[in-house]
Amino acid sequence: MSDKPMLILIAGPYRSGTDGDPQAMAVNLARLEAAAWPVFAVGHLPVIGEWIALPVLRSAGAGPTDPLADQVLYPTADRLLTHCDAVLRLPGDSAGADQDVATAQRLGLPVYHDVAEIPGRTPGETA
């Protein structure tokens, strides 16, 4: 059991395999978000890089298929990982998620491939 909640980056395909199709990206984001509750339910705080990067892009007048996206999406995850305690890598081909895993490993963070691998916290802990 962990003594404090971990901030866990959920990494997986977002733009990969979508050919820039907004609906396909929305499906991928929904798949990432579907992992948020199980992470939360075991006592941790889930975070998805796109939750931060997409508003940053919108505030710059851009979207996920604009040339600026590569200068925001990857660096956002990279910066976010310096605050995270672990990564949950979901299945699927994704250069960005692979980069997140490599960064996590370089930082010495655990990388989980299933929520069942994540150490749970005792119910009722408030730390």
User: 15-52: per-residue pLDDT in tens?
Assistant: 999 999 999 999 999 999 999 999 999 999 999 999 99
Tell me if residue 11 falls in helix, strand or coil: strand
User: Strands, E, within the chain: which ranges?
Assistant: 7-11, 45-47, 86-89, 111-112
| 92 and 16 Cβ atoms separated by less than 8 Å | yes
Closest CA to 120 of 3, 7, 35: 3
Q: Which tops the pLDDT comparison, 19 or 121?
A: 19
d(CA 16, CA 93): 7
CB 100 within 8 A of CB 94: no
The answer for 90, left when phi > 0, alpha when psi is -120 to 50, beta otherwise, is beta
73-98 pLDDT, tens digit each: 999 999 999 999 999 999 999 999 99
Q: How many CA atoms within 13 Å lie on the side-chain side of 100?
A: 34
Q: List b or e across 40-53, with b for residues whose CB sees 16 or more CB atoms inside 10 angstroms.
A: eebbbebbbbbbbb
Least Cα distance to 75 among 93, 59, 57 occurs for: 57
Q: Which residue has the higher pLDDT, 122 or 127?
A: 122
